[in-house]
């Protein structure tokens, strides 16, 4: 018989003390500041904000430091903090058409108005380790040219003028919020986009990649990818008007996909959409591919049984905090559960032995 026990407090305290010491590392090396993480580990900060579903670069930097650079642990910390915040309101939907673009490229039109603006990209770097960064040097300075004053037009607008691409019909419906109501299936596109934008980058990338390799193929082109700052506006009831409450950096990806038409729709291009906090283009492109793949039913396409066409499979497994919680709990004490399994296996073995050798 197994007797329930208590204990471990002293061991846990000692483990946490040691964790704190290991987090600090060699005391002869200067301690990282939150400003250093925020300014120099920016893309890690962006990922933690996107998947933590909370835009606050200082908090994300703190979470990364506390988590010793384990980004999923940092996302967990940010999510936990988020749940303590009272909801002050909802923003007016952000106008990404008015984005002040750091980067804006189109893989479909070379001479798009506004041009191909590369921005601070890793693309076209040689992916060779740069040993110069191992030494301290002067802060580099970017080149400048005469800036564009007017907003950059959307690439899909050009296709839309000819009716060659499926229209996105503007509505003012209140979207469902997975942080307030449990997920229900079928989820609908608004809920899918919310789940995907906070989903695990690796998972969403894997799903998107599976569609490229033939599991629910959607023939995507990156119609447009843009990264930059947008203003966030909110209606303030006590004032009776809307004000800008801040500015965030977002990454937006629109894919243009082939579509052969259906009984109700003429042949035209269709779209997948990705919008993610921060400079996070791998995630935004992945999100757009998975969004498009999950729209098979709405567009009257065939369900080939591909994982990326299965809304419940994708959305129920995209969240790395849910996933890590359920996965990692199995390392915690399961002594009682296991004791019962052990007894069961012993009994089954004894029965099997008896059946094999009835003489004994």
Partner 1 sequence: MSGTETETAARQGWMGLLARAPAARLAALMAGRALPGFDWLRVPETGGVMLRGRTGGTGAPFNLGEMTVTRCTLRLASGETGHAHVMGRDRAHAERAALVDALMAGPRAAEIRAEVLEVLAAEEAARRHERAAKAAATKVEFFTMVRGE
Closer residue to partner 1 (CB): 65 or 271 = 271
Q: Does residue 242 bind partner 1 (CB under 8 A)? A: yes
Burial state string for 149-171 with b = 16 or more CB within 10 A and e = fewer than 16: eeebebbbebbbeeeebbeeeee
The 3-state DSSP class for residue 2 equals coil
Which range in 24-32, 137-145, 297-305, 349-357 contacts partner 1 by CB under 8 A? 137-145
CB 289 within 8 A of CB 212: yes
Residues 6+ apart with CB under 8 A from 78: 48, 49, 52, 53, 54, 56, 59, 60, 63
State the nearest-atom distance from the C-beta of 270 to partner 1, in Å.
Answer: 10
Closer residue to partner 1 (CB): 81 or 215 = 81
Which of 239, 330, 355, 359 touches partner 1 (CB under 8 A)?
239
State the nearest-atom distance from the C-beta of 200 to partner 1, in Å.
Answer: 14
Q: Does residue 238 bind partner 1 (CB under 8 A)? A: yes
Touching partner 1, residues 171-230 (CB under 8 A): 171-179, 189-191, 193-194, 197-198, 229
Please state whether 95 falls in left (phi above 0), alpha (psi between -120 and 50) or beta: beta
Distance CA 172, CA 94 (A): 13
Closer residue to partner 1 (CB): 32 or 117 = 117
State the nearest-atom distance from the C-beta of 166 to partner 1, in Å.
Answer: 9
Closer residue to partner 1 (CB): 73 or 102 = 102
Query: Locate tokens 């073995």: which residue?
Result: 349
Distance CA 136, CA 219 (A): 45
Q: Does residue 168 bind partner 1 (CB under 8 A)? A: yes
Q: Does residue 86 bind partner 1 (CB under 8 A)? A: yes
* C-alpha 280, offset from chain centre: 8
CB 294 within 8 A of CB 210: no
Which of 38, 47, 65, 154 touches partner 1 (CB under 8 A)?
154
Q: Does residue 140 bind partner 1 (CB under 8 A)? A: no
Q: Does residue 162 bind partner 1 (CB under 8 A)? A: no
Closer residue to partner 1 (CB): 158 or 215 = 158
Q: How many CB atoms lie within 10 A of CB 120?
A: 10
Residues 6+ apart with CB under 8 A from 232: 91, 94, 244, 245, 246, 247, 248
Touching partner 1, residues 101-130 (CB under 8 A): 101-103, 110-111, 115-121
Which of 277, 285, 296, 321 touches partner 1 (CB under 8 A)?
277
* C-alpha 156, offset from chain centre: 24
Which of 32, 94, 299, 316 touches partner 1 (CB under 8 A)?
94
């Amino acid at each position: 018989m197994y007797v329930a026990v208590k204990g471990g407090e002293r061991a846990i305290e000692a483990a946490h003390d040691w964790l704190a010491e290991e987090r600090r590392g060699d005391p002869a090396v200067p301690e990282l500041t939150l400003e250093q993480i925020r300014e120099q580990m920016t893309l890690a900060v962006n990922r933690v904000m996107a998947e933590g579903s909370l835009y606050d670069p200082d908090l994300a930097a703190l979470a990364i430091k506390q988590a010793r650079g384990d980004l999923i642990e940092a996302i967990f910390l940010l999510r936990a903090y988020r749940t303590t915040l009272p909801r002050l309101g909802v923003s007016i939907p952000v106008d990404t058409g008015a984005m002040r673009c750091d980067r804006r490229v189109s893989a479909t039109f070379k001479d798009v108005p506004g041009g191909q603006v590369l921005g601070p990209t890793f693309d076209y770097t040689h992916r060779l380790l740069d040993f110069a960064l191992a030494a301290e040097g002067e802060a580099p300075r970017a080149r400048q040219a005469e800036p564009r004053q007017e907003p950059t037009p959307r690439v899909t607008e050009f296709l839309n003028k000819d009716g060659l691409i499926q229209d996105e019909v503007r509505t003012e419906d209140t979207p469902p919020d997975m942080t307030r109501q449990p997920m229900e299936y079928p989820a609908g596109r608004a809920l899918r986009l919310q789940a995907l934008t906070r989903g695990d980058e690796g998972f969403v990338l894997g799903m998107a990649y599976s569609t490229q390799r033939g599991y629910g193929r959607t023939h995507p082109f990156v119609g447009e990818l843009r990264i930059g700052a947008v203003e966030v506006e909110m209606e303030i009831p006590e004032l009776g008007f809307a004000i800008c409450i801040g500015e965030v950096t977002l990454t937006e990806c629109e894919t243009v996909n082939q579509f052969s038409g259906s009984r109700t729709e003429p042949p035209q291009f269709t779209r997948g959409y990705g919008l993610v906090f921060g400079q996070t283009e791998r995630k935004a492109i992945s999100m757009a591919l998975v969004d498009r793949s999950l729209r098979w039913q709405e567009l009257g396409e065939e369900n080939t049984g591909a994982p990326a066409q299965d809304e419940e499979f994708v959305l129920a497994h995209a969240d790395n905090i849910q996933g890590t919680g359920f996965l990692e709990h199995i390392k915690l004490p399961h002594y009682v559960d296991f004791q019962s399994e052990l007894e069961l296996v012993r009994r089954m073995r004894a029965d099997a032995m008896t059946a094999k050798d009835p003489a004994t």
